Amino acid sequence: MIKRSVLLGLGIVSLLLGMAGIVLPLLPTVPFVLLAGFCFARSSPALHHWLHQHPWFAQALNDWHQQRGLRLPLKRRALLMTLASFSLSIWLVSWGWLKLLLAIICMILIIFLWRLPVIPATEKATAYRAE
């Protein structure tokens, strides 16, 4: 029961951070939404289903769940927004050690996103079905 509550809380926090990441620099949206989906799958079938049906997140989550990849437009947008938000953050901070840390985190995230498989545009998106 405690594990389920912790996962539910972590899923809600992750989803909120992912939604904040849509507009705030430094917060990556995709990893937080994927973490929320993972947590909801183990704690709340209703929230997991809702997340997989949500118009903002459904296609990316379903693509990730079924094929462990992203469609090219989403991958490009994720790479561009990651680079733009980290660049802005690096430019705004004044401490050298923080600039270096941000640059390292940015590189790790860009490498992660770059290495994700691309799902061909010809493949039709299908709704997620929990088994």
3-state secondary structure (DSSP) of residue 118: strand
Task: With respect to residue 129, please indicate whether it lies within any of the assigned structural domains.
Answer: no
Specify if 66 maps to a domain.
yes
Residue 125 lies in a domain: no
51 is in which domain, residue-wise?
2-119
127 within a domain of the structure (yes/no): no
Q: Is residue 86 part of a domain?
A: yes
Domain count across the chain = 1
In a domain, 130, yes or no: no
pLDDT digits (tens, 9 = 90+) for 87-131: 988 999 999 999 999 999 899 989 988 998 999 877 565 555 544
In a domain, 124, yes or no: no
The angle at the Cα of 98, spanning 94 to 102, to the nearest 5 degrees, equals: 115
Residue 111 has phi, psi (to 5 degrees) of -65, -45
C-beta atoms surrounding 38 within 10 Å: 15
Distance CA 40, CA 55 (A): 17
pLDDT tens, residue by residue, 42-93: 999 999 999 989 888 888 888 888 888 888 988 888 888 888 888 988 999 9
